[in-house]
Structure formats: C-alpha cells, structure tokens
Structure 1
Amino acid sequence: MNPAPPVTSTGRPAKGNDIEDGSDQPKATGTAAPLARVDFGMDSLSRRRFLRGTALAGAALSFPAAAATPTASAAGLAPIRPARLREGDTVALVAPAGVLRSRGTVDEARETIESLGLRTVVGENVLDRHGYLAGRDEDRAADLMAAFTDDAIAGIVAIRGGWGCARLLPFLDWRTIRANPKAVIGYSDVTSLLLALYARTGLVGFHGPVATSTFTDFTLDSFRPVVFSGEPVELGPDSDEGGMTVIRHGTARGRLVGGNLTVLAAMVGTPYLPSFEGHILFLEDIGESVYRIDRMLTQLGQAGLLGGLAGFVMGSCRGCTPEQDAIASFELVDVIRQHIEPLGIPAVMGAPFGHVSDKWTVPVGSMAELRTETGALHLVEAPVV
C-alpha cells in the first residue's frame, strides 16, 4: 500500500481506491501547509469542540503507549454491533489516510453518500495536507473521535484510502469509541482502522466502498442490506467481475476478519491486530506481484495467524501477476493453494470485494458461514442492530 502515483515505476497500479478512482492521488510532493478550516456550506466536525470535551486534548501531543492495552480478544470483550443506518441519518465523511486532491473530491463524496438517502457532515481537517497524508496524524484522529462522540452522527465513511490509517491509531481513545459504537465504512488502507477497532473495542466495522467509490447495482445490493437492514444477509457471487475458484470444498462458520493483505501483513506484531483463531479470513489486494503475495502469506503463516482459521476467502487481486521478466514463477492460484490447502479448511478465491467496481460489503467481526458449493457468504447474524 505505497503512497505512490496511480501507476508505480514498476508498472503496478496504486492502491487506495476503486479501479475507476485511481486518479485521486496527489500530484503535489513534499509537505504542504495545512489549508484553513474548510467551509462547505454545511456543518463540519469541530476538532476544537471535541478537544475541549474529551481526554484526547492531552493525548494529542504525544503518542500514547499503545502496547499497554490488550486486544479485545485478549481482554474478553464481546463484539459490538453498531446501530444500523436509516434514511435521513447523518454520517461523517473523514479522510483518515491519503491526501485529497481537491474540494471537488469532497463534493463528489457528499453527492454519492447523499444519493443513498443520508445526510453528511465533513471532518474539519479533510483538506489538510501533510506530505501525502490528509493532515497530521493527530488531526485526522481528532476528526474520527469528533464523529464518534457526536450524538447527531450515525456512521463514519472514509472518503478514500491511500496510506495513513495505521499512523493515527495511537491517537484514538478506545474506551470512548467502545462507549459510542458507530458503523465505520471503507476498504484498502482503511483495513488497519477496521481491524484495530475490532481488536481494541470489539466494534464490527465494514470493509466496503469508500465515499468516492462507484455504487453499482451489485455494490448497493450488498451495501444496503448489510448496513441498513438489521437482518441476516447472504452475500452471493453473482457479479460480472468473474467467477470463484474453490480451493477446498466445505462449509465454515466463524467471525469474519481481514481486509487488504498488504495493510494487514504490516500490522503483524502490533497491538492493533485481532486474533484470527476460529475466524474466516478474507483478503484482497491490488498490483502486488505473485511473489509478494507469497511473501506476505508466508509471514502470516510463520507468525502463527493461519493455523487456527475456520475458513478462507480471497477476493479481488487485480494486477497480482508474475513478474514480467521472471525466468519462472507461480500463478496466484498456485500460491494460494500452497498456503491454504494444508490448513484443511473450506476456502475459495475470486470473491467480489476489494479494488473492483462490483463489491461486497464485508463486516469485520460479524458471524458468518462460508458455503463453497454456492460461493456464498452467509451472515448468520445481522451485523448491525
């Protein structure tokens, strides 16, 4: 998940957005001066108001000792399902990772989310610039905390990915978040935020479209039932993005954990990665050579994270191909089989989520059942209440 232009010097596509959103990468380099408070002609979240009312005011000056608090699984915290979204609810649009190109990106995000029947407020710092980040770590964290602590806000949607969510994790107040659970939605680099929320608070989050994604009919057919309905949902494979490949047949049941493989692998050894024991692991990526996928799965395996899995689902991995000048290589399916088949668990690859136009919204921490004979992921309990 490198903070690079849409196509890197090696020809690999950049991560952070949908395949049609790759242009939302900054052209500017270096550290730009933060923009003044943005007036969008609507309510925006006030960092100052939040800092006056919470303990983050003192914590924002230095990194807290993140390792001092165990993960939710270690502490025995039960998963928390956020309240479902309803038409007319207000959601906060935040930029927890990469810098936004312009005010137009925010306007596009607002228009997209409001077309779903929701109202929007915008984080105070979304148009800040700090190199390739959308502002300083503590300011991006403050926008998130302001959204969590504002009773008028029902959910939080990332405007884009890129890189940077992992940097703001030490600035978040986990006890406050657990006391104010809300639906957090995004994917790609937002993986680190979703996994940390699950690990440190038990909060179920949603690996789904960002606010600048294209909400196709297929995407909406997943997003609305998962986030709005408050009912069990079945995520089916009916998508034009391609079919699934069964690695090992069977039915698996467990809570869902995962997201972008590159981001997840970089979290190994931190206090923000939840336990994988008894979970169904779902992974996606973009633009990584097959040997890099191999390397990251090897890391997960040698870190002891794969042995206790209940099931495995590989999503989109667009551009994950052998090196063009390689003398010999494996195909992606070969590497997946090498790592997953020995586990003896039900597993599929090619599921519709990740950096594709048609995508599932996958709830991190929700109880699910993987059925390889149909390629369906059945959410056996509603991920929202």
Structure 2
Amino acid sequence: MTLPSYPAKPRPGDRVAVLSPSSGLPGILPVPHELGLRRLREEYGLEPVEYPCTRKMGSSPQERAADIHAAFADPGIKAVIASIGGDDMITVLPHLDRELLRANPKPFFGYSDCVNLLVFLDNLGIVGYHGGSVMVELGRPGAMHPMTADSLRAALFTHEAYELTPAKESGSVNRRWEDPRTFDHEPDMLPADGWTWHNADRVVEGTSWGGNLEILAWLLMADREMRPAAEYAGRVLFLETSEELPRAEEVYRILRNMGERGLLKQFPALLMGRAKNWSFDRPLGAEDGEEYRLLQRQAVLRALDEYAPGTMAVFDVDLGHTDPQVVIPYGGQVRVDGVARRIVVAY
C-alpha cells in the first residue's frame, strides 16, 4: 500500500469551499452556519465559497457529488470544509470520480457521516482531516473553544507535528439551534478526566484510519471502500461514537464483527474518543453520562481482549463528537507513545 500524501494547505486570504456532502442543514438552521462562516473569515482569514447544495435539504446524491467535483477541480479553492454531517453520504460515493479527485488533491475537513469521504480520499492516497465542521465547531455558541480553535488552525495551515493533550473540561449538553438565545453564551462545561491508557508499554507510529464507529459499520455492511484486512496492518485506529449514543453492547458487536473480519488485530494502537453522553432524545444527567462512558470503555476493552489483546489503547481522547475537539489527520502520521503517555499527530 502506498502511503497517503498530504495535499497543499491554504494560506490566509485563500478561498475555501464549504459543502454539505451529507445534509443541507444550513438551509433550515442558518444561525450556526452564518456564525461559522464569519469566524472562517475573521478568525482564520479564509474566504468561504458555498455551492448549490450547501443550503439545500434533500439534494440528490448526484447533486452532492457534483458539488464535491466542482470544489476539488477548481484551482482557486485551496481546501474543502463540510458544513455538518448527516446520515446518507454512503449514497454519494458511487457517483464520485476517483480520477478527478486523485488529480486535484485538497485538504478536506469533516467528520461523522463525512467519514465516508475521508475513507474514499484515504483510498486515493490523499490525507484528510477528521474534524472542524462549520456549523458545530466553527459555529459554536458564544465562542470557539480555544483547544478546538488551536488544533483547527494548525491543521488548516501547517504540516508540522502537533501534540494532543487531554482537555481539562468537556461538554456534551446542547441547546436548540432554533432558539437565538442559544448563541448568547458558551455551552456549559464540566471538569474532564485525563486519558486512560491500556497496554501502554511501547511506542506505536503509523498512519491513521477510522472515524465514527456507526459510519464505519455501515461501510462494512455495504462492503463499500473497504480493503482486505491485511492492508491495514500497522495503522493507528481511531474511533468515536455519535450523539445517537449507541449502547455499549452495540459498540461491542461492531468491534466483534471487525474482529471476525480479521480487521481489529491489524491495528497496534487505538485512540478511542471521549464518548458524547447526552442527546435531546437521551438527556443523561452527569452520573448516568459517566456510567455510559464507563460501559462503552468496558465494551471496547472486551472486544480488544478477544480479538486484539496486544493492541495499545488510549481512552477519552477529545476527537469526533466532543467539545472541545481536536482534529485527527486521516491517513496522516500518528505517534502514540505509551511509555511517555504522549500522542503526536502530523498535520
């Protein structure tokens, strides 16, 4: 397997595409979207460019693929950023032109359902960036979290090594975007525990692969964009779960099935994201939320014990559906130093 290559980065003043490759939520919830666009301009010095589907709910897979093609093919666009995730980007993948994207590599930022495109780009040998959506991270009420803002800035503009650190605070409780008062102040945060290490007796360095566990399960079920298990050998796996709050047993079953496929044992290290533990459908209190995270950790450890007992794991890394959020280079280099308890990524 050829190692993925890093595309050129934008510079302040450059134009960047803002796409909705999954859901056109900016069309019905414009406030966080407009806030995110303003911060792209004012705090990052970039000029966002929207496309036909960016604010259009119900766009067809072909229409969303056309936006992706237009953004990547335009030499004046220096990066592509997703507005938000969704739940059906898997239907867009068959309509993507592999040769067009391969010939026009751009940094792509997104996560959740946008893992579909990150996996697709990884298979083309293009490093992507897991994190940094317009509506959620850039459009965060009150202000961007400093930890999120710093990681996103480094990922957008540099190719340098970046050391991840545990967040001192974390939040999962959201307020309704339909209510303008939501944006008057920052979300409530709680003190956060540090990382928890497992089998931390070595140093692992490799290219990353993974993302949202539910989306990866869909890709595996559809056998879409998945290579033979042995081709993932030596890579660093990173996983996280969404606001749908999958039960611990479901997390175990997905990982079990990855194990049965021969996939789980290929990864010598796992970064497990701090699980989001609150949603409008399941508004867990602080105690129940912590129990949810503990049960998920136990489920992951159970699967590792059965299928990848030698894998080193780090739990509660602030990636994915977390606040704050660090960007993970998708297909980029990651160094997990269990002895020194350090994680360094290359943007």
Query: TM-score surpassing 0.5?
Result: yes
Correspondence 1:360 to 2:326? yes
For 2:223, the aligned partner's letter is T
TM-score by length of 2: 0.80
| Alpha carbons 1:145, 1:172 under 8 Å: kept | yes
> Aligned residue for 1:125?
53
Aligned to 1:255, the other structure's residue is in SS state: strand
Aligned to 2:320, the other structure's residue is in SS state: coil
Correspondence 1:264 to 2:193? no
Aligned to 1:191, the other structure's residue is in SS state: helix
Partners of 1:301 and 1:139 lie apart in 2 by: 36
Partners of 2:29 and 2:156 lie apart in 1 by: 28
Aligned to 1:288, the other structure's residue is in SS state: coil
> Aligned residue for 1:111?
38
Partners of 1:193 and 1:98 lie apart in 2 by: 14
Correspondence 1:349 to 2:315? yes
For 1:368, the aligned partner's letter is V
Partners of 1:148 and 1:197 lie apart in 2 by: 12
Once the two structures are TM-superposed, the CA of residue 161 in structure 1 deviates from its matched residue by 0.5
Correspondence 1:296 to 2:296? no
Aligned to 1:344, the other structure's residue is in SS state: coil
Once the two structures are TM-superposed, the CA of residue 163 in structure 1 deviates from its matched residue by 1.3
Q: Equivalences for 1:131-170 in 2 at 5 Å?
A: 135-170=59-94
> Aligned residue for 1:248?
199
TM-score by length of 1: 0.72
1:152–1:231 Cα change, 3 Å: same
Q: Percent identity?
A: 29
Count of residues in Structure 1 that have an aligned counterpart in Structure 2: 295
Once the two structures are TM-superposed, the CA of residue 361 in structure 1 deviates from its matched residue by 0.4
Q: CA deviation digits over 1:146-181, x for unaligned, max 9? A: 000000000000001011221101111111111110
> Aligned residue for 1:337?
301
Once the two structures are TM-superposed, the CA of residue 238 in structure 1 deviates from its matched residue by 4.0
Q: CA deviation digits over 1:30-58, x for unaligned, max 9? A: xxxxxxxxxxxxxxxxxxxxxxxxxxxxx
Structure richer in helix, relative to its length: 2
Q: CA deviation digits over 1:82-136, x for unaligned, max 9? A: 1122111110000011231244454233213223111110012222232xxxx11
Structure 2 residue runs of 5 or longer lacking an equivalent are 171-191, 289-293
> Aligned residue for 2:291?
none
Partners of 2:342 and 2:90 lie apart in 1 by: 31
Partners of 1:137 and 1:300 lie apart in 2 by: 28
Aligned to 1:253, the other structure's residue is in SS state: strand
> Aligned residue for 1:188?
112
Aligned to 1:160, the other structure's residue is in SS state: coil
1:359–1:376 Cα change, 3 Å: farther
Once the two structures are TM-superposed, the CA of residue 378 in structure 1 deviates from its matched residue by 1.2
> Aligned residue for 1:216?
145
> Aligned residue for 1:87?
12
Partners of 1:334 and 1:107 lie apart in 2 by: 40
Correspondence 1:314 to 2:314? no
For 2:22, the aligned partner's letter is A
For 1:335, the aligned partner's letter is A
Q: Equivalences for 1:70-81 in 2 at 5 Å?
A: 73=1, 77-81=2-6
> Aligned residue for 1:231?
160
| Alpha carbons 2:240, 2:273 under 8 Å: kept | yes
> Aligned residue for 1:27?
none
Q: CA deviation digits over 1:333-374, x for unaligned, max 9? A: 221111224430221111011111211100011121112345
Partners of 2:23 and 2:92 lie apart in 1 by: 12
Aligned to 2:252, the other structure's residue is in SS state: helix
For 2:134, the aligned partner's letter is A
